[in-house]
Every structure is written in structure tokens, then in C-alpha cells.
Structure 1
């Protein structure tokens, strides 16, 4: 027997991006033919898609973990890695996606509606893409970013045209079983349905769905019993039908008091989606009252007493018996007419477009705050700095120098100076702590040494051959303004010499 699951918690992990490749083209007579490392492939996304053939979240109950495939690693010869295959997870129509804090991320209504549950990581750039006028043959590549990892909650709000509301054992399941081909659990002893039942009803040319919502009790809107778990299935119902047990043996209950108690719960319930497809609050939905079990003489007499009082509220009243199949045809066509009027006034839900919200031009790219765990330290937060940290090979000095250049151009060093950072201060970005050295020149201002090294990070006491070569090349460059003044040169003298 299949199970109906309407709330699950899932863990989704997108695929990691592939690493870029650091390679130099080599062939006969061309020992250094330039960088030719390819880029890494992007990781596969995890995507939720509304599928009309799926009616429950049962698959996620047994398989709550979903993971996208990783991107391929770049290779030499300008060969990029393959992108990871995205993982498509079908969900039923009416699924609401929430994060671990209860915030609504997506309301998936309409066939084909999509939601990216986890974004795949970006592939790292190869050294061919990192080559520039300052770095003609980079000896490093960028690492691929890890895929997004999220914990989500999926809630199913039944997309039904008619919702049956009533106390436990009011006969709602029996009514669904005779109006449609649904086969809910029915017994001759008092109990309440634990899972909603959906049935398809045909009345002439009109076809509509009916949802049997488990029995409600006073206080359900405040979480008493299982009310909150089931009231959400009424949020998208266009018509609400009160199913009243006219044969109840409880001396403190009667049809009018039952309806008043249920109306109080519907009025007190506030759905998570305040505006749910323009249906309005539950208190404003069209109503119909079904006086059930009138095949019993005492129940039929009680229906005679209360029918006029209920009709004064402006609600249609029908006397039926699910056991004796009495009054079912009139009720079916009345519900069909109310559903037809609703459909004429509301357009059919279509797949929602994805909304892209670009950031403002002056949107802050990073923030610098004091580190509470480190005296004199600072923490840099921001999407771009944190992403650059994840892309950096910290065992490669040239890659670290490239990271310093990027942070400097972004303005991180200027922001640290403004915050009062001292040389040697501990600066943390994305969990990685550095000893900050100010006035570090960018890559265009410092002649680079061998591949995979950076002169700013290699400062031995003994001057090596590479440093002497760099110093000699710097001396051969045009003197700066201070040296010109000390030598008595000016622009006119240089012009005359030329």
C-alpha cells in the first residue's frame, strides 16, 4: 500500500567545479610555446521541477540525499574539463521549498516550474586564461569552487478544487470514496484519517478534484493535534465543504456548533503564503455545507431542525448519506458549478518564470570588521574575496601573489588601512588567516621571477642570482623623478638628448 508523504527534509549538494590546468605548450624548436592549460568544468546543479505525474514526496522520504556530479579537470592543449550533469528532481505540483530557518524560497505551482536547489561550483581558470601582459606564462591555475550545499524542507500543499472540512469521524473519507474512485481507509469505529486523500470527480463535462483533509479539532490553528499539518492542504482549495455529522452521540455537539468551531479555526489560521494565487484568506472562500449520515432517522430529524439556520448564512446546504448514496448527484453537480465559476474567474496556473535580481551598481562587495577572537585582527567578508580564497593554490607562491593583487585592486588593503590595521595584523578571509603586509605592490609593478614564485613572498637574507638579475633590470629602466632631480636632469635635458 502506497504512503502519502507531504513533508520531508532533504540535503542537496551540487557538484564541485573542476580545477584549472597549469601547462606550457612544448614541441620541437618551441620549448616554451606559451601557456595552454584549459579551464575546469562547472559542477552540476541540483534542480527541482514540477512533474504532473508525481503526487507525493515519498521518494524523498526514502532518499533524502541528492548530489550533483563534479566538473572535469582542465588539461593541456587548451582542453577544458567537461561540465557536471545537473540532477533533476521531480516534485508534485504545489510543493513549497523552505530553508532550514523556515523562510520560503519557492512556491512551485504549475507544470514545468523550476527551482535551483543547489548551484554547482564554478570551474577554475587554467593558466592560459590567466595570462596577461604582466604574467605571460603563469605557473599556476585556479581551483574549482565547491558546490553549494543546503538543507531544505519540502512541504506539499494539495492542489485540489474542493476541500472537505469536518471533525473526526464526520464521514469525509466515506464521501470521497463514493464521489470518486479513491479508496481511503474506512471503518465502523471512531478514528481520524492521518493523511489527506485526493479523489477525481466527474460531473457531466466538468472534472474536478476533492481533498479529504484529516479531521480538525478546536485549537488546530494554534498547533493542537495535527491541525497545522493539515490546514495547509486547504490553502489552495477554491471551495470549502463543511461535512457535518448529524448522527453524533456527543451531547455537547450539534451541526451548528460544529460549523462555528471549524469557522473559528479557519479564520484564525494564517497561511505561510499570505497571497496564495489570489484566493484570499480561508475565511473568504466559497462555502457549502454537507449534512451527512441522514440515512439514520435521528440524524434526518436533526437536519430538519438546523437546515434553515445554516441556509440563513447564505451557504448552500445538502443532505446526503454516503452509505445509502443519497443526495450525492445533487451535491456533485453543485460542487462542479462552484468550481466552474472559480475557474472562469481565475486563470490556470502556468509555470513561473525565474526572476533574476541583479545587484545594484553601488552594492558593497566586501566588509571589514574587527576579529573578536584575535586582538588587532580583522575579518573580511564578501562574495568575491571568499570565492578567490577558495580558488587559490596556497602551496604556489605565484598564486598567492595573484590573490594579493586581486584583493588590492578590489580595495581590501585600502579598507584595512582605513580600519587602522597594523603591519603583521592577522586578517581572516573565508577561514584562512594571513599576516597582513601593507604597501604590497601589484603584479604590474613588480618584475616577476620564475614560474610558480613571487618576489614579494620570497625574501631570503642572502641575495640570490634571480634577485640580482631583477635588480639589474630595474636599474636599466628609466630613472624616476627623484633620481632625475638628484642628477640634475629635467624634461628639457632629456628632450635635448633625444
Structure 2
């Protein structure tokens, strides 16, 4: 027996971008082949897509982790790495995507609607793409970016045409079972139904879905009972049907007071999404009253007495018995007509188009703030500097020099000076901290050195190969000392 799951926590991980390649073209009789390292491939994205054939979040309940494919590394001869394969997750219509703080990220309505849950990381540039007039043959390439990892909450709001509301044991599940082929659990004790039941009803040329919402009692809109967990399943219902137990033995209860109590809860409940509010408040949705259990003689008499009270409110009233199935045919025709009128007035939503929100050109690319954990230190925060840090291979001096040039052109050096940074102070960008040396010339034309090196960063005390060779020749008497060494 399948389970109805309407809320899950999904852990999504996009694919990492592939690293760029640092390669130099080598071919006979072509000593200056130039750089030919290709770019890394893009990481795969995790995408949610509405599928009309999916009706529950059950698959994500058993498989809460989703990861897309990684991009491949670039290669020589200007060969780019393959892109990672996107992972498309099928979700039912009515799925609402929230982040860990409860903020709504997407409202999945309309078949084919897509939402990029986690974009893949960008592939790193190869040295062929990094070559310039000042750096003709770069000895480095950029690293691929990590894919986005995040936790999402998926909530399903059943897209049903008719929502059945009523007190526990009013006969809602029994009504769904006789109107459709659904087989919900039915018993003679309150709160038998612990999950919404969906049924498909056919009436003439109209096919409609009916949802049974469990556990509605006074105080449900404030979280009492089970109502707050399942009220969201009727937010998008076109028609709300009050199922009233006319044979209740509970003293102090009667059909009119039951309906009034539930109407107060519906009026107090506020939909979380503006799309749901656009359908009208729950208090303004079309109503129909179903007086159930008319097979009991006392219940039939009570139903006849209270019918005029509901008709005064302009609501259609039907007296039925889910056990003997009396009155179901006219009820089905009435529900079909109300749903058909709603569909005519409210066309089916089209798949949502992606919305592009460009960033204003006058917005700052970064900001410099004092480091609360390091005295005299600073933190540089911004999308571009933090992304550049992740792209840099710090075991390559030329790549570090290239990073310094990019930060200088962006204005980070000037901003640190303006903020009062002193030479040698700690500067943190992303996950990397380093000692700031403002005397290092950054942003100027690159001085030609060996591949993978940068003279501006050459501060070690090691003796070079040329110096060792010169000292060796002096010891053998083949050369004299330099005037400066004498």
C-alpha cells in the first residue's frame, strides 16, 4: 500500500565544475606553439520539474539525497571538459519549495514548471583562455567551482477541486470511498484519518478530485489537533464542502454550531503564498453543505430541521448517507457544476517562466569589514573575490600573481588602504587568510618569468641554479670573484 508523504527535507548537491588545463602546444618544427589548455566542464545542476504523473513526495522520503554529475577537466589541444549531467527530480503539482529558514523559494504550479534547486559549479578556464598581451603563455589554469549544496523543504499542497472539511468521524473518508475508487482507512473512532485522502470522481463529462482533510477541530488554525498540518491541502481547492455528522451523540453539538466553529477556523487561517491568496480567502470560497448519516432516523429529522438555516446563507445543502449511498447522485452533479464554473472562471495555470533579475551596475562588488576574531585584521566579502579565491591554485605562484592582479583591478587594494590596513595584517577572503603586503606591485604589466612563477612573489632565500653553477666554477678556479664579492 502506497504512503502519502506531503513534507520532506531534501539534501541537494550540484556537480562541481572541472578544472582548466595548463598545456603548451608541442609539435615538431613549431617551437612556439603557444598555450592550448582547454576549459573545464560545467557541473550538473539539480532541477525540480512538475510532472502530472507524480502525486506524492514518497520517493524523496526514502531517498533524501540528490547529487548531480561533476564536470570533467579540460585537456590539451583546446579540448574542453564534458559538462556534468543535470539531475531532474520530478515533483507533483502543488509542491512548495522552502529554504532552511522557511522562506518560500518556488511555488511549483503548472505541468512542466522548473526550478533550479542547485546550480552547478562553473568550469575553470584553461591557460589558452587566460593568455593575454602581458601573459602570452600562462603556466596555470583556474580551478573549477564547487556546486551549490543546500537543504530544501518540499511541502505538497494537494491540488484538489473539492476539499471536504468537518469534525472527526463526520464521514469524510466514507464519502471519499463511495464517490471514488479510493480506499481510505475507516473506523468508528476520532482521528482515524492521519493523512489526506484523494479521490477522483467522474460526473458526466467532468472529472474532479476530492480531498479529505483530517483532524479539523476548534483551534486548528493555531495548531490544535492535526488541522494545522493539513489545512494547506485545501488552500487551492475550488470548492469547500462541509461534511456534517447529523447523528453525533456528543452533547452540546449540532450541525449549525459545527459549521460555525469550522468557519471560524477557516477565516483565521492565512495562506502562506500570495498565489493561494489570489484564489480568494478560504472564507470567500464557494461552499456546499453535506448532511451525512441520514440513514439514522433521528439524523434525518435533524437534517430536515437545519436545512433552512444553511439555505439562508446561500449555500447548497444535500442530505446523504454514505452507508446506503442515498443522495450521492445529485451531490455529484452539483459538485461537478461548481467545479466546472470555477475552471471556466480560472483557466489552468501555464508553466512558470524563469525570471531573470540582473544586478544593478552601481552595486558594489565587495566590501571590507574588520575581522572580529583577529586584531587589526580585515575580511573582504563579495561574490567575485570569493569566487576568484576558489578558482586559484595557491601552489602556483603565477596563479597567485594573477589573483593579485584581479583583486587590484577590482579595487580591493585601495579599499584596504582606505580601511586602515597595515602591512603584514591578516586579510581573509572566503576560506583563505594571508598576510597583506601592499608593496607587492599588483595590477601592472606582468614581467616575463618562467612558467608557473611570478617574480613579484619570489621572496625565498634559496640559491638559484645559475648562482650554484657560478660558485662551482669559482671553486675549480675557472672563474674569478665578482668585484662586488671581493
TM-score range, shorter chain: over 0.9
1:290 matched to 2:290? The reply is: yes
Q: Distance in 2 between matches of 1:326 and 1:43?
A: 60
Q: 1:181 corresponds to which residue?
A: 181
| Contact residue 134 and residue 444 of structure 1 kept, 8 A | no
Show CA shifts across 1:107-148 (max 9, x none): 001100000110100000001100000100100000000000
SS at match of 1:456: helix
Show CA shifts across 1:78-103 (max 9, x none): 11100000000000010000001100
| Contact residue 134 and residue 443 of structure 1 kept, 8 A | no
Q: Distance in 2 between matches of 1:204 and 1:135?
A: 75
Q: For the structure 1 residues 462 and 76, does the alpha-carbon distance in structure 2 shift closer, same or farther, using more than 3 Å as the test?
A: closer
Q: 2:224 corresponds to which residue?
A: 224
SS at match of 1:416: helix
SS at match of 1:384: helix
Q: Distance in 1 between matches of 2:460 and 2:176?
A: 84
| Contact residue 186 and residue 192 of structure 2 kept, 8 A | no
Q: Distance in 2 between matches of 1:53 and 1:306?
A: 42
Q: 1:330 corresponds to which residue?
A: 330
| Contact residue 14 and residue 149 of structure 1 kept, 8 A | yes
Cα deviation for residue 180 of structure 1 reads 1.2
Q: For the structure 1 residues 249 and 326, does the alpha-carbon distance in structure 2 shift closer, same or farther, using more than 3 Å as the test?
A: same
Show CA shifts across 1:23-53 (max 9, x none): 1111212234111111000000000000011
Cα deviation for residue 304 of structure 1 reads 1.7
| Contact residue 165 and residue 242 of structure 1 kept, 8 A | yes
- Deviates most, 219-228 or 67-76: 219-228
Q: Distance in 2 between matches of 1:300 and 1:451?
A: 94
Q: Distance in 2 between matches of 1:305 and 1:146?
A: 69
Show CA shifts across 1:200-235 (max 9, x none): 111111111111111301111111122111000011
Q: 2:144 corresponds to which residue?
A: 144
Q: For the structure 1 residues 440 and 317, does the alpha-carbon distance in structure 2 shift closer, same or farther, using more than 3 Å as the test?
A: same
Q: Distance in 2 between matches of 1:38 and 1:147?
A: 20
Q: 2:339 corresponds to which residue?
A: 339
1:381 matched to 2:381? The reply is: yes
Q: 2:74 corresponds to which residue?
A: 74
Q: 1:356 corresponds to which residue?
A: 356
Q: 1:201 corresponds to which residue?
A: 201
SS at match of 1:276: helix
Q: 1:453 corresponds to which residue?
A: 453
| Contact residue 243 and residue 292 of structure 2 kept, 8 A | yes
Q: 1:390 corresponds to which residue?
A: 390
Q: Distance in 2 between matches of 1:74 and 1:141?
A: 10
Cα deviation for residue 459 of structure 1 reads 2.5
Q: Distance in 2 between matches of 1:14 and 1:219?
A: 42
Show CA shifts across 1:237-290 (max 9, x none): 010000000001100211111101101110111111134272111111111110
Show CA shifts across 1:328-358 (max 9, x none): 1111111111111111111111110010100
- Deviates most, 250-259 or 457-466: 457-466
Cα deviation for residue 58 of structure 1 reads 0.2
Q: Distance in 1 between matches of 2:437 and 2:280?
A: 60
Q: For the structure 1 residues 230 and 421, does the alpha-carbon distance in structure 2 shift closer, same or farther, using more than 3 Å as the test?
A: same
| Contact residue 215 and residue 225 of structure 2 kept, 8 A | no
Structure 2: any 5+ residue segments left out of the alignment?
Answer: 468-486
| Contact residue 46 and residue 118 of structure 2 kept, 8 A | yes
**TM-score (structure 2 length as normaliser):** 0.94
**TM-score (structure 1 length as normaliser):** 0.91
Matches within 5 A, 1:22-421: 22-276=22-276, 278-421=278-421
SS at match of 1:405: helix
Q: For the structure 1 residues 76 and 466, does the alpha-carbon distance in structure 2 shift closer, same or farther, using more than 3 Å as the test?
A: farther
Structure 1: any 5+ residue segments left out of the alignment?
Answer: 468-498
Q: Distance in 2 between matches of 1:356 and 1:42?
A: 20
| Contact residue 245 and residue 291 of structure 2 kept, 8 A | yes
Q: 1:479 corresponds to which residue?
A: none
- Deviates most, 173-182 or 52-61: 173-182
| Contact residue 378 and residue 427 of structure 1 kept, 8 A | yes
Show CA shifts across 1:44-71 (max 9, x none): 0000000011000000000000000000
